[in-house]
Structure 1
Amino acid sequence: MATIETVGVRAPGWRGGFGRLWTAAVVSRFGDALRTAALPLLAVRLTDDPLAVASVTACGYVPWLLFGLLGGAVADRVDQRRAMWAVDTVRGLVVACFALAVALGHASVPLLLALAFSLTSLQTLFDNASTALLPSLVDPEALGGANARLMTGQQVAGGLLAGPCVPLLLAAGAYMPFAADAGTYLLAAALVASLRTRPPEREPSPAGSTLRAEIGDGLRALRRDRVLRAVCAATLLCNIGMGALIGTLVLQVTGWLHAGSAGYAAAMTAYAAGSLAGGFLAQRIARRTGRARALLVAGSVQTSSLLLMGTVRHLGALLAGMLLLGAMGMVWNVNQITLMQSRSPASMVGRIASAFRTASTSGAPLGALLGGAVARMYGLNGPALLTAVLFALAVTSLITAREPDVPVGAPRAGATTGRPTP
């Protein structure tokens, strides 16, 4: 697949639907952060088994293996706006029922596993539809800026605003974070439903075309693109590590550092603050180095931060590590998704995105379980050190796979912008 690796310099306009999509994403992430932080804390109240706690995180990734490719194929067939608001409505109702169960004292580890599995199953369609919808709302040269603004806004709401709210909501009742999450899903659904976008223009599918065949087309397109293939492999290694780290972070903070729930909230807030800084740095680093090399920079810094977190037994060291991890994670994510969107034909963004996500996240459930096993066998700081090793391997794999970036406005011979010719 011959494509251009451009680094956009224009900022996205708030009109044309992007502003409403941004608001919906930020509102929804605020609620997600409340739930994400509350779930492991609730799990710790129900069990002291590290493997059981990590299983809650692992169960949130498994649906990507089962339904990820299908979600991308469906996203390329349907009206993405309608798919997104319908999914958010269902997710809001599911979380509302869970909040009611917790309020009535029926919380259990199996129920937590069921919630994580069901929400992620719905997310496989939502995320692929959102990725495919965004390029239709902004100009191609503003795509990188749009991703940076979208992710930065989500981190501000999800970390800086939601993080400190978690202990307060939990003090009011274990069900409160989940009730708030349900409300944000429904509000986000209303915002997306209010978008006035034209139905996507697609060429008719060939006679006899099936979802299975279309999924195969997306997989082959990802395999043929050397840059995306390399980035996908590196992201797989990183996600194995992040599954191990996030799945056991609450144990490292509350057990190894004895910092309690407040320390865990502070760690999540530090990560969000770093992500906010990374949102401002992502485009600047990409303009200086190119998007592929920006991933090398981000991965190298993240490796160092993980070593700090795993070797220095002090809350300050962990907060500094989480700050750097969040900043460079944002740099990685913005440039990774922009590369994927800009290098994919418009009619295949959903399928290529789903193939990328399914392949790259397939290691996260294994990572979460592996993190629980490492924490049990080698100590609660072991997952951070394991993650550092995996990030170092990811950076090494990108060094030989990178290709020179194309300057803005200087396409390679025979390259395309990834958009169909009118």
Structure 2
Amino acid sequence: MSHQEIAEPAQAPESAGPGDPGNAVGRDVSLYWCGQTASAFGSTFTAIALPVVAVVHLHASPGAIGLISAATTAPILLLGFPAGALADRIARPRRTLVLLDLICAAAIGVVALGLAVGAISLLWLGLLCVIMGASSTLSAAVYFLHLRQLVGPEGIGGARARLQAGQYGAALVGRLLAGPAIAVLGAAAALSVDVASYLLSATALMTMRSPDVVPRGPAPSVLTMMRGAMAGMRVFTGDAFHRALGLFIVVPAATMAGVTALTGPFLLRVIHLPTAAYGSLFALSGLMGLGGSAVAARLLAPGRDPRRVMLMAFTGAVVCSLLLPLAAGPLPLAAFCAAMGIGLPVFFGAVANVAVSSVLVADMSEDTLGRAMAALQVCLAGAGLIGALGCGVLGDLVGVRGALWVMGLTALGCVALSLPSALRAARRSHDAARPSPASV
């Protein structure tokens, strides 16, 4: 998750003393990495445990699972714009991130206790998803504000790739351990791991030394804040490329939300994967995420255009999502195909995530960054809500495999029709952003 003015921190020389500001920044970035990595490890246990609880223990239908998945994104639609405006007024982003970590730890801890005493129901899972979604609404905007403070605008791409690589590595280990842990110790123990990870993340944030103050002007009225909240949407309507950017973010988001909602029922009910092996099937996605982060760092080296990288990466993610409903036949073959259908979209998604961060941070001022990121979260939430609910309804009507096919093919058609014009718009935007020869 995750200061007086630190717009462009200077690089510390090798001989700098322990009190040098550059060393403080490097130490804080490492702490940030540790906290995010720990949180990603724990969150994997929750991500694996909740579908198992819903499908195996509570016997939820595809439609009910779609509703639970939608509960995560619904708060973003309601709170996204106000949260973005609030993020641009927060003077101490690190304290806000600590508070959000503690709220998430408490919410997951309550559900873990309910599981331990046998009082859990689908309503409990839905309420947990609502709380986590509301927390992520604000933390997503504050995350980039805090990261930009630590490394400056020019360092966002590299820092984001490093943080993402750590998160994928932790998720890889978590996926290998979560399934056996749930089978042996139960889902409550798995959720307790996530509680501990949020507490570790909060501790890492609290031990940072660099200033946690963002200079802010006088606080505007509530009406002014609400009007300003809509300013972030202009990022996606200002020119042809940004309109294409919105489409290429929203369509894969809807697809992935629908696929994610039905992945648990598909693996556990359709191809009959044992519960103990459920988490390990996602292990490949951790490797793919690490690989995608490493590839992104190379593709997005200084001077490279992140726009075309982003478009092609999102397209690859949509194409590869079709591998999941292809999984059939003997269990080893079906499991391998399903693992590829889960892992390859993560590879391309990792590349796209880093590219999107580079594009948006470069195109936005610091004063509007929170609102623009909140606008992005609202768009993603709307797409995710439609994808999760739609795929759940389709799952009840045509079966889980049929719903996955409909979602994947619809998304592929939208992306294929839009890609040529989007690439042309990206090329024009890149050419316009380059300095003219006369100005060099």
Q: Do both share a fold (TM > 0.5)?
A: yes
Residue 165 of structure 1 corresponds to which residue in structure 2?
177
Residue 272 of structure 2 corresponds to which residue in structure 1?
258
Residue 26 of structure 1 corresponds to which residue in structure 2?
37
Give the share of equivalent positions with the same residue, in percent: 24
> Larger deviation: 387-396 or 15-24?
387-396
Pair 1:374 & 2:415 matched: no
* AA of the residue aligned to 1:30: F
Pair 1:80 & 2:103 matched: no
**Secondary structure, aligned partner of 2:26:** coil
Distance in 1 between residues matched to 2:192 and 2:28, nearest whole Å: 28
1:175-254 paired onto structure 2 within 5 Å:
175-195=188-208, 196-204=210-218, 210-224=224-238, 226-254=240-268
Structure 1: 5+ residue stretches without partners? 1-9, 416-422
**Structure 1 residues 303, 96: CA separation in 2 closer, same or farther (over 3 Å shift)?**
closer
* AA of the residue aligned to 1:156: G
Residue 340 of structure 1 corresponds to which residue in structure 2?
360
Residue 43 of structure 1 corresponds to which residue in structure 2?
54
**Structure 1 residues 201, 226: CA separation in 2 closer, same or farther (over 3 Å shift)?**
farther
The Cα shift of 1:381 comes to 1.7
Pick aligned residue for 1:272 from 269, 281, 286? 286
Cα deviation 1:269-291 (Å, max 9, x = unaligned): 12222111100111323459621
Distance in 2 between residues matched to 1:142 and 1:329, nearest whole Å: 20
> Larger deviation: 160-169 or 212-221?
212-221
Structure 2: 5+ residue stretches without partners? 1-10, 12-21, 329-333
Residue 361 of structure 1 corresponds to which residue in structure 2?
381
> Larger deviation: 262-271 or 219-228?
219-228
Distance in 1 between residues matched to 2:84 and 2:189, nearest whole Å: 33
**Secondary structure, aligned partner of 2:321:** helix
The Cα shift of 1:378 comes to 2.1
Distance in 1 between residues matched to 2:240 and 2:195, nearest whole Å: 41
The Cα shift of 1:317 comes to 1.4
- Tell me, yes or no, if the aligned pair for 2:282 and 2:343 is still in contact at 8 Å: no
- Tell me, yes or no, if the aligned pair for 2:179 and 2:278 is still in contact at 8 Å: no
- Tell me, yes or no, if the aligned pair for 1:25 and 1:150 is still in contact at 8 Å: yes
The Cα shift of 1:350 comes to 0.6
The Cα shift of 1:16 comes to 5.4
Pair 1:394 & 2:415 matched: yes
**Secondary structure, aligned partner of 1:200:** coil
**Structure 1 residues 37, 328: CA separation in 2 closer, same or farther (over 3 Å shift)?**
same
> Larger deviation: 43-52 or 110-119?
43-52
What TM-score does the superposition give when structure 2 sets the normalisation length?
0.85
Residue 343 of structure 2 corresponds to which residue in structure 1?
323
- Tell me, yes or no, if the aligned pair for 2:248 and 2:314 is still in contact at 8 Å: no
What TM-score does the superposition give when structure 1 sets the normalisation length?
0.88
**Structure 1 residues 414, 334: CA separation in 2 closer, same or farther (over 3 Å shift)?**
farther
Cα deviation 1:323-367 (Å, max 9, x = unaligned): 211110101111112211121101111110000111122121221
**Structure 1 residues 414, 228: CA separation in 2 closer, same or farther (over 3 Å shift)?**
farther
The Cα shift of 1:209 comes to 6.3
The Cα shift of 1:92 comes to 1.1
Computing the radius of gyration from Cα coordinates, the structure with the larger value is 2
- Tell me, yes or no, if the aligned pair for 1:296 and 1:395 is still in contact at 8 Å: no
Pair 1:302 & 2:323 matched: no
- Tell me, yes or no, if the aligned pair for 2:105 and 2:195 is still in contact at 8 Å: yes
**Structure 1 residues 71, 110: CA separation in 2 closer, same or farther (over 3 Å shift)?**
same
**Structure 1 residues 127, 310: CA separation in 2 closer, same or farther (over 3 Å shift)?**
same
Distance in 2 between residues matched to 1:410 and 1:211, nearest whole Å: 34
Residue 331 of structure 2 corresponds to which residue in structure 1?
none
Distance in 1 between residues matched to 2:177 and 2:289, nearest whole Å: 18
Distance in 1 between residues matched to 2:282 and 2:117, nearest whole Å: 28
- Tell me, yes or no, if the aligned pair for 1:306 and 1:387 is still in contact at 8 Å: no
* AA of the residue aligned to 1:83: T
Cα deviation 1:58-96 (Å, max 9, x = unaligned): 111111101111221111111211111111112111211
Residue 146 of structure 1 corresponds to which residue in structure 2?
159
> Larger deviation: 245-254 or 383-392?
383-392
* AA of the residue aligned to 1:33: T
Distance in 2 between residues matched to 1:204 and 1:390, nearest whole Å: 48
Distance in 2 between residues matched to 1:311 and 1:317, nearest whole Å: 7
